[in-house]
Structure 1
Amino acid sequence: MEHGLNAIFGCVVSVGLCLLLSVVYLASLHVWNSPFSRDHPTTIKKRFVSVFFMLFVAPCFLYIGLDKNTLQKVSFLEVLGVKSKGLWQALIVPLLLTVVLFLGPISMEVSNSLGKLYAGKSRRMKMSISTDDGPVSGEGAWHANFTNLIWIRNHLVAPFSEEFTYRSCMLPLLLQCFPATTAIAVNPLLFGIGAGPVRDGPQHGSENIMFSVRLYDDFRRILGLLVVPHRSFCVDFRRPRIL
């Protein structure tokens, strides 16, 4: 009985830390209270600073909630996923899944000869890119992208920071409590807190608060169904399921 209560309490702590980390990540983006839209260069630069600091804050949540016996078997970097074992599998399989997911748009781009445009093989074609200097020719398309703050945010900064926070720092905590399949299902719910329709500007403050309250209430109900009635979901913390 005592062991079951300890397991449930451990699950609540792990999930609570993940929920708190998700809220902190979202709050770090909106702490600036910028009067500009999310696509304004000033707002983008400020949020770059926020996610940079979150790269150091997020691992602290993992370290606090991680079973210390785990660190006797593997290093903290390995828990975060920084390791050479399985590197090729981690690089190839997600790439193939991404290709399958975007197979339709990729096929359309290839059929429209945009692949040749990016490769610089068709210099007579031009692609319209939103820059201050107007349309950019094919050979300068990639250079224009890497100088475009919106493109950098959407394709580099946001994917890396979100994956690091929600995958590297949250999944080890969830795997201490749930089986892998359940952790995979719960993790997107946590990501949904940060990816919800939060609107910029003080005029939408009440809407954002109500959305957060509803989302938290729904999330609490789901966790109640997962954790409390089914103790088989909770494992012995002396035998972590990480790695």
Structure 2
Amino acid sequence: MTATLPSIGQVPMLVATLACMSFTIVYLAGFYVFVDIRTGGTGRSRNEPKVIVARCKAVIISSILTAFLVWLILRLYGAWPDSSSIMDQIHSLLWILGVVPPSSWFALVNVICLPVLLTASLFLGPLSLMFLDNSLIFQSNFSFHRDVRQNILSLEGVRNFVIGPLTEEFVFRACVIALLKFSGYSNMYLVFASSLYFGLAHLHHAWEKYHDYGANARALKTALLQSGFQFLYTTVFGWYVSWIFIRTDSILAPTLCHTFCNIMGFPDVNAIKDHKPVTQKILCSSVYV
């Protein structure tokens, strides 16, 4: 079945921009409305099992609601002809949001292997240190039980490496870019401007860190500094995965890149000094650059 795609330029730019801002609010609202109701109030740690489960449910519901809002806006502004059926509109919406599976082995390689390899090349520094420490997969210091079962497959791991990347990429990549694209914005705008919504969505961590660090003046300063850096980092990362999404037309590609980055964490340059041979330090330093 061939999807009937809406016409570009149907949605007013102001409407698309305001809608994308509302997506951020809807996504974050689940953290502080639905979660508080389900867990009995604020003040709980984000790593408590009850909070993790409630937040995962909240962002899944928010993602479904956001997709519905995208469909509703496109429909209200006549993006589809009146003769098109609801099923045809839903199919084309799924196509636009990149949730249709790859149609060939070549497409599968294009949305899985190439983006992940490209992302791995950005982490050659940490990967080289892990190789020297024999801690890469299939090396002697790698433990499937410790590194996979206790980390990736734990409740926190499912949140950090599955639910989080999938819902964030679906909302802030697929849904945001879809509306901005069909309002007539250029690809340049889609890559750079759309990522600001993703960066803004992470500023709520400042409130959590403020309370985690003691809710005093020093905690406020630390929370603002860390959240400011996180905003810059997530915005730059948003540029990258937005480009990946536009190039692949698949939500799978940016989601896998996001998961890989979450597993690796922010590159720790200080780890280089722990390696004694000078040749190793020089090699690792050059690879980091």
1:168 paired residue number = 174
Aligned mates of 1:70, 1:8 — CA distance in 2: 9
Equivalents in 2 of 1:168, 1:58: separation in Å? Answer: 10
Off by >6 Å, runs of 4+ in structure 1: none
Q: 2:189 aligns with which of 173, 177, 182?
A: 182
Identity of aligned residues (%): 25
Give the match's secondary structure for 1:195. coil
Identify the residue that residue 193 of structure 1 maps to in structure 2.
Answer: 200
**Inter-CA distance 13–151: structure 2 relative to 1 (3 Å threshold):** same
CA contact (8 A) 2:66 2:175 kept: yes
1:77 alignment counterpart: 94
2:130 alignment partner, one of 109, 125, 136: 109
The separation in 1 between residues aligned to 2:163 and 2:12, in whole angstroms, is 33
Q: Distance in 2 between matches of 1:18 and 1:139?
A: 40
Matched, 1:47 2:68: no
5+ residue gaps, structure 1, are: 1-6, 128-137, 212-242
Correspondence 1:63 to 2:84: no
Distance 1:68 1:88 in 2: 35
In structure 1, the partner of 2:26 is: 24
Amino acid at match of 1:21: F
Q: Is 1:140 equivalent to 2:145 in the alignment?
A: yes
Q: CA deviation at 1:170?
A: 1.1
Structure 2 residue aligned with 1:13, among 2, 15, 27?
A: 15
Cα offset for 1:55?
Answer: 2.9
Letter in 2 for 1:27: A
Deviations 1:1-22 (A, max 9, x none): xxxxxx7980000111110011
- Mean Cα deviation higher: 140-149 or 75-84: 140-149
Distance 1:13 1:179 in 2: 16
2:66 aligned counterpart, secondary structure = helix
Secondary structure at the counterpart of residue 52 of structure 1: helix
Question: Structure 2: how far apart are the matches of 1:171 and 1:8?
Answer: 14
Q: Which moved more, 1:18-27 or 1:70-79?
A: 70-79
Q: 1:176 to 1:106 in 2, by over 3 A?
A: same
Q: TM-score, normalised by structure 2?
A: 0.57
* Residues 62-82 of structure 1 deviation map (CA, whole Å, 9 limit, x = unaligned): 112225435769712101112
Name the structure 2 match of 1:92: 113
What amino acid is aligned across from residue 114 of structure 1 in structure 2?
Answer: S
- Decide whether aligned partners of structure 1 residues 60 and 198 sit closer, same or farther in structure 2, where only a CA change above 3 A counts: farther
CA contact (8 A) 2:152 2:161 kept: no
- Matched letter for residue 77 of structure 1: L
Q: Name the TM-score, length of structure 1 as normaliser.
A: 0.66
Alpha-carbon contact 2:30-2:59 (below 8 Å) kept: yes
Q: Note if contact 1:61-1:169 (Cα within 8 Å) is conserved in structure 2.
A: no
> Aligned residue pairs: how many?
186
Residue identity in the other structure for 1:158: G
CA distance in 2, matches of 1:49, 1:171: 24
In the alignment, is the contact (CA less than 8 A) between 1:18 and 1:170 conserved in 2?
Answer: yes
- What's 2:229 paired with? none
Contact 1:23 1:193 in 2 (8 A): no
Provide Cα deviations, 1:26-65, integer angstroms capped at 9, x if missing partner. 1111222432121222221210110121231110121122
Q: Is the 8 A contact 1:34 1:43 kept in 2?
A: no
- Asked which structure has the greater RCO (Cα within 8 Å, sep 6+), the reply is 1
Aligned pair in 2 of structure 1 residues 9, 155: CA closer, same or farther (>3 Å)? closer
Conserved 8 A contact 1:80-1:168: yes
Aligned to 1:82, the other structure's residue is in SS state coil
